[in-house]
Each structure stands twice: as structure tokens, then as C-alpha cells.
Amino acid sequence: MKDQSNKLSSMTVGLHWLLALAMIGMLAFGLILEDMAKGETKSFLMWWHKGLGVAVLAFALWRLGWRLTQGFPVPMSKVPAWQEITAKITHWFLLLGTLFMPLSGIAMSLGKNRPIDVFGLFAIPAFGENEFLHEAGEVIHGLGGNLLIAAIILHVVGAVKHRIVDNDGTMERMAGREVPNRQTA
């Protein structure tokens, strides 16, 4: 099923919520790991974080392809131009964030000549130390993570506004329900 203005496909809804929960979980997981002392427990949890990060990347690529073929959903109600622009920028940043966070994490590991074991299923091999790759990955992962947290908060605030202030059916549509099309000119 393709997305429609008043009902999103189960694929769109499922990929949105899967990636939303995965990214929030991985950001929280990363913040916990950041504060942990080096040791066996941190290494074990880092193994999980990296494997999950590769899985998130696979789903993010799927979602990006889906979004590019479907386009972004049309707004359920008319909003001021600045809100529409803010929403578009936020949506693109969130979508790209699902890509740059795992890719920058991969760059950090590979730049330190550390292969990435993905749950024992396969490994992404390292090809030698590359300080630039490691440093670039570290900056993007750290700064990008903080910016992504801010974008998620902004996205949630926008969703709450759509529900409480606009009451326009956006939240119902994101839950996979069909809603009357209330777009105004």
C-alpha cells in the first residue's frame, strides 16, 4: 500500500516507529556507555551497541529508500511558513541522523583499526589505523548525537502541538489510522 494524504502505509508507520525507538534507545545506550569506566562490562556492552548500530543502519537505509519513493507525508493542516520550514528541516535531519550516527560509529571503530563483529553473523573488517577517519567519526558521533537529541525533542514538541493545539489527525495518521483529510488552503 502506498502512502495517502489521510492514511500512511503500514510500512511507513512501522519503519517510523522502529527507527524512532531504535534511535532513542541507541542514543540512551551511547550516553550510558560514554560514562562507563573501561573494562569487560563496557567492552561487552560496546559489542552490542556496535552490532545494533549496524542493524539500525540497515533499517535506516530501507527507510530512506522508502521515504524517497513515497515522498514526505503532506501536512494535515495549514501551518505558518516558518513552522513548515522547521518541520521539513527537522524531518530531513532526523532521517539523515539515522544514517550518520551508525556510519560515524563505524568510522570511529574502523579508524582505530577495530573490526566490527555484528552478532557473530559477519564482521566489517578494519584495514589499518586512520586517525582522520576516527576523529571525524568521533566528532560527528558526539556532536551529531547531541543535535539529534535536540531534533527528537523538537519533533516530539511538534507532534504534541499537532495533537493538542491543531487537533488535525497527524498523531492518528502516525498510528496507522485513516483520518479525514482536513488540509486547508
Tens-place pLDDT, residues 89-126: 999 999 999 999 999 999 999 999 999 999 999 999 99
Evaluate whether residue 35 is within a structural domain.
yes
Evaluate whether residue 152 is within a structural domain.
yes
The secondary structure element, H or E, covering residue 181 is: none
Measured between alpha carbons, how far is 152 from 181 in angstroms, rounded to an integer?
26
Distances (CA, A) of 150 to 34, 42, 121, 141, 153: 18, 26, 34, 14, 5
CATH number at 20 reads: 1.20.950.20
Domain count, the chain: 1
Q: What's residue 168's pLDDT?
A: 86
Evaluate whether residue 2 is within a structural domain.
no
| 3-class DSSP assignment, residue 66 | helix
Evaluate whether residue 144 is within a structural domain.
yes
All residues at 6 or more sequence positions from 146 whose CB lies less than 8 Å from its CB, including other chains: none
- Is the pLDDT confidence value at 184 over 50? no
Q: What's residue 92's pLDDT?
A: 95
Q: pTM of the full predicted structure?
A: 0.89
Identify the residue with better confidence: 175 or 119: 119
Evaluate whether residue 159 is within a structural domain.
yes
Evaluate whether residue 4 is within a structural domain.
no
Q: What would the pLDDT profile of 12-39 be if each residue is shown by its tens digit?
A: 999 999 999 999 999 999 999 999 999 9
Q: How confident is the model at residue 166 (pLDDT cuts 50, 70, 90)?
A: confident
Evaluate whether residue 3 is within a structural domain.
no
All residues at 6 or more sequence positions from 29 whose CB lies less than 8 Å from its CB, including other chains: 45, 48, 49, 52
Evaluate whether residue 183 is within a structural domain.
no
The secondary structure element, H or E, covering residue 122 is: strand 122-124
What is the residue range of 142's domain? 10-174
- Bridge partners (DSSP) listed for residue 118: 122
Q: Find the Cα–Cα–Cα–Cα dihedral 54, 98, 65, 172, rounded to 10°.
A: 120
